[in-house]
Structure 1
Amino acid sequence: MEFKNKVALVTGGGTGIGKATSIALAKRGATVIVNYSRSEFDAEETVRLIKQEGGRAIAIQADVTQDKAVRNMIQAAVRQFGTVDLLVNNASITKHIPMDDLDSATEDVWDELFDVNVKGMFYCARAVAPFMKKNQQGAIVNLGSIAGQTGLGSSLPYAVSKAAVHGLTKSLARALAPEIRVNCIVPGAVVTRWWAGQEEQMKKLAPNLLLQRISTPDDIAHMICAALQQEAITGQMITVDSGQTL
C-alpha cells in the first residue's frame, strides 16, 4: 500500500488511461479524486468500482481549461481531504486530421488542443503546488505521447501539443524542485476509445512492434504509479510503447 494516506487527483479520470490509473492508485491505498469535464457517468462508475473494492474516491467536475474551475476543484478536494499529494495530468483531447492537411488545422483546433493538453496541465500543477510545497513533498505525472517525439500523430496540432507537454514537464520540474517531482509518461499506441473505428489499423500495427502487442491502459497506469513513487527521478520522459519508437 505504497500510497496509503495519500490523496491523488487524476484529471480525465473516468475513462481509458485515467480510469485505469484511478483504480491502480486506489488499489495502492490512495484516496482518489476522479476529475471529469463531461464524462460524469464514466467518472461515477470509476468511483463505484473503487468503492466496491474497499477504496476511497470521489468524482469532481471541472473543466481543466478554466483556471478558476481548477482552483475551485483543488479547494474542494483540500476541504474534504486536507491536501493533494499526487497529481496525474491525464486529461487530453485530439482531432483526427491528416498530417498534410494544413488547412484543417484551424485556429479553433489549435486553441482547443493547447487549452486542454498544455494549459490545463499547467493550471492543475499550479493549483496543487502550494499544498505539496507546504507538505514538503509531492509528485506530478503528465501524460505525453510519442507523437510529441516523432512529430507523427492523430493531427499536427496534437503532436505539437504533446511536444509542449514534454517541455512543460522539464520546466515544471525545475520550477517546483526540490519538494515536488514532475515526470512525464510517454505512451505509444494504447487500446482506448481513441482507436474506435480504427481497429484494423491497430491490428496491422501490433505485429510490427518489437513486443508485438499494443499497450493497455493498465500498462500505462502501472508506470504512472511507479513514476509517482520513485523519489530519485524528476524532469524525465519515460516511454511506454512496446518498442514502437526504437
Structure 2
Amino acid sequence: MDLQNKVAWVTGGGTGIGRAASIELARRGAIVAISYSQSREDAESAVRIINGEGGRAAAFRADVTRENEVAELAGLISEMFGTIDLLVNNASVTRHIPMCDLDSATEDVWDELYAVNVKGMFACAKAAASRMKKNKNGAIVNVGSIAGLTGLGSSIPYAVSKAAVHGLTKSLAQALAPEIRVNCVAPGAVATRWWKGREAAMNALIGKLPLQRIATPEDIAGIICSLLEQEAVTGQILTADAGQTL
C-alpha cells in the first residue's frame, strides 16, 4: 500500500514509538491524526514538527479505555480528514513490579493494564475498521512486546497483556479480512522514557544482545510503516529485539 495521502491514526502518538511512527508516516506522505491521553504538549510538538516539514497532522485527546471517547474521536478524525485508512495501536501503560512479587500485582494493576493495553486497542480497531471497510482497504499495526512472547517484562500483568495483544492481532486479522490487514510488532528493549531511571540496566543489557544495541523509536517506526505497506501480510507478529530472544 502506498501511504501517500492515506489518513493514519496513531494512538499514544506524542511520545516514544508513537511519536517516531507519526513523524515517519508523515514523511512517507500520510496525513496523521495523533491521539493522546495525558501528553498534550508532546503530541502538539509532534504536530508542529510534521506541519513544519510540509506534512499534515493534528492532535486529539481521548482516553482509549472509554469506548464512547474512542468512537467520538474516530468521528472527529473522519470529519477533519475524510476517513481513516491506517491505525497504529500504540497506546500502552506498564507498572514496574518484580516478577516474583505477586502480591503487588493487584486487581487495580491488572484492570488498568488490560483496560489500556488490550481493551483500548480493541476499541480503537473497532472504531477505525468501520471506516476502513467502506474503503475496502485498510491496515492496522498493534504494538506488542517480546514480554508477550517470553513471559518476562516489567511486570506479570504487563507481559500477559502484551500476550493478549498478540492474540488480538491474530483474531482481528481473521475477523477483518480481506478488506483490512492486521499485524503486530513486538519490540524488545527500546530507548524510550520507560527506561528513565533504569538506564544502567538498559546499558547492561546491550552486551547480552547479538546486535549489541538497543533499538530506537525510529527503528520500530520504520517497521510499523513497512507492515502498513505490505499488502500480502496479515496476522503476523514481527519481533524486533536485536536478537534478544534467539
TM over 0.5: yes
1:116 is matched with 116
Where in structure 2 are the equivalents of 1:1-246 lying within 5 Å? 2-246=2-246
* Aligned-partner SS, 2:207: helix
Output the CA distance in 2 between the equivalents of 1:71 and 1:218: 29
Counterpart AA for 1:218: E
Counterpart AA for 2:193: R
Scaled by the length of structure 2, the TM-score of the pair is 0.99
Output the CA distance in 1 between the equivalents of 2:49 and 2:43: 10
Q: Deviations over 1:92-111 (max 9, x none)?
A: 00000000100000000000
Equivalent residues, number? 246
1:3 Cα deviation (Å)? 1.2
Runs of 4+ in 1 over 3 A off after TM superposition: none
Output the CA distance in 1 between the equivalents of 2:207 and 2:2: 36
Counterpart AA for 2:138: G
Output the CA distance in 2 between the equivalents of 1:88 and 1:203: 28
Counterpart AA for 2:216: T
Output the CA distance in 2 between the equivalents of 1:203 and 1:96: 18
Output the CA distance in 1 between the equivalents of 2:116 and 2:8: 20
1:2 Cα deviation (Å)? 3.4
Counterpart AA for 2:44: E
Counterpart AA for 2:93: I
Scaled by the length of structure 1, the TM-score of the pair is 0.99
* Aligned-partner SS, 1:208: coil
CA-atom RMSD, angstroms? 0.8
Output the CA distance in 1 between the equivalents of 2:243 and 2:154: 19
Counterpart AA for 1:194: W
Give structure 2 stretches of 5+ with no counterpart.
Answer: none
Output the CA distance in 1 between the equivalents of 2:217 and 2:69: 27
Output the CA distance in 1 between the equivalents of 2:223 and 2:75: 28
